[in-house]
Amino acid sequence: MPSLETPGEFLRHALLDTVVPHAANFDVGRSLTAALEDGADDLPSILSSICQRSLLFFDESLPVRIILRLSNCTDQFLKHYLPRLEVRLDVFAVDPAETVVDNPSQAREIIFSGSVDPREEPLVIFNEFDCEEGTGNHVYLIWNIEAFLKRPRNRLSNPSLLFIASTSLNPSETTQQEYPDDDYLPPLVPASTNVFQSLSGDRSLAQKEPFLPASRLLRVVPTTASEDPIYNVRQQHGRPFRVVPAASARIRYSRLNIYSGLPTTVASLDFEVTPYLSCDVVFDQAEVRLSEGTLEDLSAVQGLKLPLACRPRDDVTLMYKLTPEYGPETNLSSTAMMSMLDISLGAVILLADDCKPRVTMQWRTNVDFSLPLNPIFGGPSQALQRNNRPTSLPMPQANVGTGSHPNSRPSLRERAYSVTGAGVTISFSGPTRVPVGIPFSWDVFIVNRSTAPRKFALIAIPRRKRVDPRGHVARPSSSSIASRKEDLVAEAVTDENIVHAKQKAIMGQEAELISLSTDIRVGPLLPGTCHSTELKLLPLATGPLHLEAVRLVDLNTNETTDIRDLPDILADEQLRTGS
């Protein structure tokens, strides 16, 4: 019998295995005791009598039993080392299942890793038997652990799962307290002799005594494997279990095609049962929570209330109306435009009367509550074609609760929206009336609706007066000589009168609105993400001011898009003086 002073002998000759019972409330201890009474002592033969699952499902919370068999272990020995045992379970997804035994080095992806609660007491079964050396015993320890089978990242054509258990013997608390600073040198043991001891008095070493232990130069003779202590045990072989997805779920969004100042989105949640099953599935849980806004269940009618019994290939669609908390006057540059939607689905698979596994799907997604665009803006006509034409135009918002006089001034737009052909939505918002000579800012809000990461640069282009080249009439050049013959002298390539007229026309054209933000970099923006920035402008003249365009440059492809739909600006001298 091993003594308490040799902890490495506790796990010697130990065997470890896992059991996935078919019934959730299956008593593994009673079945193991019955097999031992029948004379079976080999662990694989004992576990072969237990009915296990033949098909598993992704997103399932699966109860698993871990069985550890110890040899020649006394009750005192077990009570001393059992609190120091750490039992873990790892679940691997492999493909295909037929080559797992033949090719152990096959690539595996771990989908679950967890340890047994140390406060949980295992089920202990003692079995004594007679052997050549006298009387021996086997001690069986059984733990329960619940494993969640999440979906692997890699696509597997024929997925299977392997359950591999492992256990280790941790050092005791008294041992850790005895050597808190040194894990290698025990107390009252002399250190190794310093080979460079004779050089300790050398003045050229600048009071640094060299040190080289003699143990670094001695030959280390390895011990045999049988004498090494064993502090951990790992399951050698795992049985592959076939696994399939029981159901799939997705959510889609569509904006209401109405002229309303409050953006509203309808979410369609689809729950579809896969054709891999041959039994009923009870869809009994559907929880949807919106972080910033109100949610209205449109499917709460007779016949669509949960739970619902579904057959393979059935598709259940639940409708929800999502409304944000803010109104149309909210600043679009705020990140509150993107709200979080938490979705939780649950279903029970009716495999048998004693086997009803449960699958749970939970995820979080973003909801974009940008204002709806004008749906009546159709495609480009054949008579007018231009590049970078937006797919839709912004819809003007109605002034709710405010009246307008027939003789009142036309309202100025403080917001403008544009949709580029590259799948990017950009909006500008800022003050409509600004003082002359004082800088102000536009809030720029960009949403990447494409399927690839994007990087952009924003450049403001000021507006200048365009000179009509037809306004100048060609006149004879002053350098031409009338006495020259036409057949011998060619006409001038560039007449100096034309050059002088163009130079004179350019003089005096000053920019009325200039940009203080020379180059704005945005990105990289992942698909479905947004970014907020500012564009600083300086008005230099009174009256309505405009930019020629805001150029959006894709830094990945160098493709440019000129955005000309911008907010209105009215510069006033009175705002500067404060009158």
pLDDT at 192: 74
pLDDT at 400: 34
Q: Which residues contact 575 (CB under 8 A, 6 or more apart)?
A: 433, 434, 435, 436
Direct distance between the N- and C-terminal alpha carbons of the chain, in angstroms, rounded to an integer: 102
- Residue 250 is predicted with a pLDDT of 92
Dump pLDDT digits (tens) for 527-548: 878 888 888 888 888 888 888 8
Q: How many CB atoms are closer than 10 A to CB 547? A: 23
Torsion angle of C-alpha atoms 53, 59, 64, 66, degrees rounded to 10:
120
**CA–CA dist 5, 229 (Å, integer):** 12
Domains 7-176+227-242 and 411-469+509-579 share a fold: yes
Identity of residue 127: N
The neighbouring-strand residues paired with 501 are: none
Residue 255 · residue 268 · CB < 8 Å: no
Q: Over the stretch 254-304, which tens digit does the pLDDT of each residue have?
A: 877 555 556 788 899 999 999 988 899 999 999 999 987 888 888 876 667
The pair of structure tokens assigned to 338 is 């993107």
Which fold would CATH assign to domain 246-368? Immunoglobulin-like (2.60.40)
| Residue 542 backbone phi and psi in degrees, to 5 | -90, 160
Fold of 7-176+227-242: Immunoglobulin-like (2.60.40)
Query: Which of 32, 60, 82 has its CA nearest to residue 349?
Result: 60
pLDDT attached to residue 80: 85
Locate tokens 């089920």: which residue? Answer: 123
pLDDT of the residue at 230: 76
pLDDT of residue 172: 65
152 half-sphere exposure, CB direction, 13 A CA radius: 20
Give the H or E element holding residue 398: none
Q: How far apart are CA 244 and CA 359, in angstroms?
A: 12
Q: How many CB atoms lie within 10 A of CB 123?
A: 15
Tell me the C-alpha distance between 433 and 414, whole Å.
Answer: 9
User: Which residues, 6 or more positions from 31, have their beta carbon under 8 angstroms from its beta carbon?
Assistant: 49, 50
Tokens found for residue 427: 């909006």
Q: Quote the tokens at residue 226.
A: 């049988």
The span from the CA of 480 to the CA of 317, in Å, is 85
CATH code of the domain made up of 411-469+509-579: 2.60.40.10
pTM beyond 0.85: the answer is no
Q: Are residues 285 and 403 in contact, defined by beta-carbon separation less than 8 angstroms?
A: no
CB 544 within 8 A of CB 568: yes
Gap between the Cα atoms of 562 and 559, Å rounded: 10
Sign of the CA dihedral 192, 193, 195, 197? positive
Give the residues of the chain that fall short of pLDDT 70. Answer: 1-6, 40-41, 96-107, 131-134, 172-191, 206-207, 218-228, 257-262, 301-303, 326-338, 370-411, 417, 421-422, 464-495, 502-510, 575-579
The 3-class SS string of 441-458 reads EEEEEEEECCCCCEEEEE
Backbone angles phi, psi at 203, to 5 degrees: -75, -20
Q: How many residues does the chain have?
A: 579
* Rounded CA separation 553/176 (Å): 62
Contacts 24+ apart (CB under 8 A), 94-98: 94/156, 94/159, 94/160, 94/161, 94/162, 94/240, 95/156, 95/157, 95/158, 95/159, 95/160, 96/157, 96/158, 96/160, 97/158, 97/159, 97/160, 97/240, 97/242
- Could you tell me the residue ranges of all domains in the chain? 7-176+227-242, 246-368, 411-469+509-579
